[in-house]
Amino acid sequence: MKRCRYVSSLIDAFCVSCCVAGAVEQEPAPRFHDWAKTPPMGWNSYDSWGIVVPEAEVKANADYMAAKLAKYGWEYVVVDIQWYEATAKDMYCPANPVIVMDEFGRPQPTTNRHPSAAGGKGFKPLADYVHGKGLKFGLHIMRGIPKPAVEKNLPIANSPWHAAGLFRISGR
């Protein structure tokens, strides 16, 4: 009797799965060797400006990309490395960067190069501008806690921890 119930359950499950599969169109799962038709296509600020790209230049490149290149698959506008470095003057990263941070040690865009970030707005206004062009906004972010945040032992947002305490716990 148990065997009959088991076989009956399998038949019921098969019928249900066939009905569900027939009711919903499914795309075949991609195979492991299905590759993207193109690499990610876009503009990266470091390639032209190093670490000193001004917001106006980011917008100008977004405008051009939306008007001339988006139809060919170009979609990413990326603000690259050290957008949080207040004293950047050329393409090269300074030995002792001055990192603009919020009260929790999170890097913030410099307002001398990204004026729409003033008042704690961050990159939202610039990202909104890029998205308004039908493009995607990207940002280069380094992992970890900035060294000045550890040196100042700044609090970690929404936690009882401070940066120096986390740094010591990690064994570094």
pLDDT digit string, tens, across residues 32-77: 666 778 888 999 998 888 889 999 999 999 999 999 999 999 999 9
Give the single-character DSSP code of 53.
-
CB 100 within 8 A of CB 86: yes
CATH superfamily to which 42-169 belongs: Aldolase class I (3.20.20.70)
- 3-class SS at 124? helix
Strand residue runs (E) in the chain: 42-44, 76-79, 136-139
Tokens encoding 119: 């008042």
Q: For residues 59 and 108, what is the distance between their CA atoms, to the nearest angstrom? A: 19
CA 105, 128, 81: angle at the middle one, nearest 5?
45
Question: Per residue in 83-119, pLDDT tens?
Answer: 999 888 877 777 888 999 999 999 999 999 999 999 9
Where are the chain's structural domains?
Answer: 42-169
